[in-house]
Amino acid sequence: MRDPRKEKELNDISGLRLKALDVTDPGAIESVAKQVVGSGGTDLVFNNAGYGLAGALEGLTDEQILRMVSTNMLGTIRTTKAFIPHFREKRAGLFINTTSLGGLSISVQLHLPRNQVGG
């Protein structure tokens, strides 16, 4: 979670600890995993980062595409990898992975003149 202080409901649940994390930063992922394991560990990692991009594919920059892949895919993979050793050692643990619906579906819109698409 980018800013746990903004979360209203989850902060009120007993036994639940939220950690600030930018999943596009591999160093931050490793640091948070070490903090969590060092403070007694965890039973659950909830990967919930994700977003989508809309618009014409040719209008997206490489930077936009890479940031989306880094968030939606690599962030989940890196966070999971960081906690697997902890879960293996304790022989228990649960990963829950969700993402933005926009991150799961890609809508490509082609805007071509009619005569270029056979019509």
Q: Which domains does the chain have, with CATH numbers?
A: 4-100 (3.40.50.720)
Render each residue's pLDDT in the chain as its tens digit; 119 residues.
777 878 888 888 888 888 889 999 999 999 999 999 999 999 999 888 888 888 888 899 999 999 999 998 999 999 999 999 999 999 999 999 886 665 455 555 555 555 554 55
pTM above 0.85, yes or no: no
- The answer to whether 48 and 21 are in contact (CB under 8 A) is no
The length of the chain in residues reads 119
Radius of gyration from C-alpha coordinates of the chain: 19
Between CA 37 and CA 39, with CA 8 as vertex, the angle to 5 degrees is 15
CA separation for the pair 3, 20 (Å, rounded): 5
